[in-house]
Amino acid sequence: MMRTRPLKVALLGCGVVGSEVTRIMTTHADDLAARIGAPVELAGIAVRRPDKVREGVPAELITTDATALVKRGDIDVVIEVIGGIEPARTLITTAFEHGASVVSANKALVAADGAALHAAAEAKGADLYYEAAVAGAIPLVRPLRESLAGDKVNRVLGIVNGTTNFILDKMDSTGAGYSEALDEATALGYAEADPTADVEGFDAAAKAAILAGIAFHTRVTIDDVHREGLTEVTAADIASAKRMGCTVKLLAICERAADGASVTARVHPAMIPLTHPLASVREAYNAVFIEADAAGQLMFYGPGAGGSPTASAVLGDLVAVCRNKLSGTTGPGESAYTRLPVSPMGAVITRYHISLDVADKPGVLAQVATIFAEHGVSIDTVRQQGKDGEASLVIVTHRAADAALSSTVVALRELDTVRGVASIMRVEGE
């Protein structure tokens, strides 16, 4: 049954992921051929720096002309592991025009422009697969798009950035502050020299957009995702979470509104109960928790980044795309038929943990409680601590709209007796 003419693969990018893809394609060629039904052959590898030493990467395949590679006309599948918007977007589009299917690990591009890329693929009867774009080796795109295709997903709650989970886990386990934990993450290679994309939540927001689109069969781009990083999270916040039986995680949260007519997608630090399965996700691991009508609660856990795990996801897609090529079909493409609008952050309904620095005198709590009531935010618990004329109020609310909480905070800041709003953190996963 095995076809002998090999399928030809072009690899764009040969960094940590690309060289691991090359290694596995070489060392596991027989297994890949058996699983696909035909051999696969690396036909070319486009890089920016051809002179860099790349162990185990055949020098004769290296080219700096990525455009010429994807235009060759005999390429069956293009694997794109360059990252970023350009030149990746143009190369992928050119690949489709020349008859190739594409496997990409590019979360930024898919989150920014997934609909156009899917349309370009569909116009040419090609596949666009990107399991590696969300949480590395953890199967998420395929389970959401295929395994849960007969179900209705209501919520996706994910730890989808390993750097920030490592930082928060350190803060939680050692009591360290943010800067100290970031330094350790950098020293151990979990954080990049410029950690902005991770700690400001851009990376997680791209993944949230992709997950929300697939989960709710609609279109969500990174611009639709409300984003807050973790740079403001303090050791005091972590300690406060512990007192509540919680820990702090940077979560990507995608929800269908209660009326089913809209969705929201957001990334921000949040307190979650220690009993929640996501609470025990340590170090740089990722995990995504999914709530669906019929399936109930599912969780997918694993390494969210790294050369080998990402290569595993890329190669799983490669096998699928090659099989589709051989049978002359394509896999499930974009499913965005619900066309559900994305509501702004103000429409999100959740709970809040708020720390206020207040004057230590009678009547302050009554004043504060009145402000909450006036804005329709119901208080669940209050803890009051005072010393030396200063006091703090730690308030946990019932579920309320984010817009109502925001206007409550504006009003609280105007009270003479409120010296400052020390922190506001959402409480999720209950």
Binding positions are 12-19, 107, 192
| Type of residue found at 412 | L
Alpha-carbon distances of 92 from 85, 102, 104, 116, 300, rounded to whole Å: 10, 7, 9, 11, 29
Going by the annotation, the residues of the binding site for L-homoserine are: 192
Q: Which of residues 121-180 bind a copy of itself (CB under 8 A)?
A: 131, 137-139, 142-143, 146-152
CB of 399 to a copy of itself, least distance (A): 25
Nearer Cβ to a copy of itself (269/309): 309
> Following DSSP, what letter does each residue of 288-344 receive, concatenated?
EEEEETTTEEEEEEEE--SHHHHHHHHHHHHHHHHHHHHHT--------TT-PPBPP
Which residues partner with 246 through β-bridges? Answer: 273
Our finding on whether 8 is near a copy of itself (CB under 8 A) is no
For residues 365 and 373, is the Cβ–Cβ distance under 8 A? no
Inter-residue contact 134 to 108 (CB < 8 Å):
no
Segment interacting with a copy of itself, rule: CB under 8 A, options 194-202, 221-229, 258-266, 322-330: 322-330
122/96 Cα distance (integer angstroms): 9
Question: Of the candidates 182, 214, 311, 354, which one interacts with a copy of itself according to CB under 8 A?
Answer: 311
Among 10, 11, 14, 20, binds a copy of itself (CB under 8 A): 20
328 touching a copy of itself, by CB under 8 A: yes
Whether the CA torsion 366, 371, 373, 378 is positive or negative: it is negative
Are 377 and 404 in contact by the 8 Å Cβ rule? The answer is: yes
Among 224, 301, 287, which residue's Cα sits nearest to residue 255?
224
8 noted as active-site residue: no
**Identity of the residue, 339 or 387, whose beta carbon is nearer to a copy of itself in the bound complex:** 339
User: Which of the stretches 28-36, 52-60, 179-187, 378-386 binds a copy of itself when contact is defined by CB under 8 A?
Assistant: 28-36
Considering the complex, what minimum distance in angstroms separates the CB of residue 343 from a copy of itself?
21
**Computed from CA positions of residues 163, 168, 172, 178, in that sequence, does the dihedral angle turn out positive or negative?**
positive
Residue type (1 letter), 231:
T
Helices (H), 59-140: 66-70, 88-97, 107-123
Q: List binders of a copy of itself among 192-251 (CB under 8 A).
A: 217
Nearer to a copy of itself, 146 or 223 (CB): 146
Q: Does 293 bind a copy of itself (CB under 8 A)?
A: yes
119 binds a copy of itself (CB under 8 A): no
Q: Are the C-beta atoms of 355 and 421 separated by less than 8 Å?
A: yes
Per rule CB under 8 A, is residue 189 in the interface with a copy of itself?
no
Tell me if 188 contacts a copy of itself by CB under 8 A: no
Which residue in the set 213, 269, 316, 429 belongs to the binding site for a copy of itself (CB under 8 A)?
316
73: contact with a copy of itself by CB under 8 A: no
Cross-strand partners of 156: 254, 290
Q: Which residues are annotated as a binding site for NADPH?
A: 107
The alpha-helical segments, DSSP class H, found in 87-223 are: 88-97, 107-123, 141-142, 162-174, 178-187, 196-199, 202-216
Please choose, out of 5-13, 65-73, 164-172, 297-305, the segment that lies near a copy of itself by the rule CB under 8 A.
297-305
Residues 232 and 279: beta-carbon distance below 8 Å:
no
Least Å distance, CB 249 to a copy of itself, is: 16
Kindly tell me which of 150 and 363 has the beta carbon lying closer to a copy of itself: 150
Q: How far is Cα of residue 366 from the mean position of the Cα atoms in its chain? A: 41
Number of residues interacting with a copy of itself: please give it, by CB under 8 A: 57
Among 277, 345, 367, 419, binds a copy of itself (CB under 8 A): 277
Q: Could you tell me the smallest distance in angstroms from the CB atom of residue 19 to a copy of itself? A: 12
Residues 34-53 that bind a copy of itself (CB under 8 A): 34-35
Dihedral sign for Cα atoms in the order 193, 195, 198, 199: positive
Please state the closest distance from residue 115 (CB atom) to a copy of itself, in A. Answer: 16
Q: Which of 52, 152, 207, 325 is catalytic?
A: 207
Nearer to a copy of itself (CB atom), residue 13 or residue 162 = 162
Q: Give the containing element (helix H, strand E) for 62.
A: strand 62-63
Q: Which stretch binds a copy of itself (CB under 8 A): 81-89, 293-301, 370-378, 394-402?
A: 293-301
Q: Which residues are at the interface with a copy of itself (CB under 8 A)?
A: 20, 24, 28, 31-32, 34-35, 131, 137-139, 142-143, 146-152, 217, 277, 280, 292-303, 306, 308-309, 311-320, 323, 327-330, 332, 335, 337-338
Residues forming the active site:
207
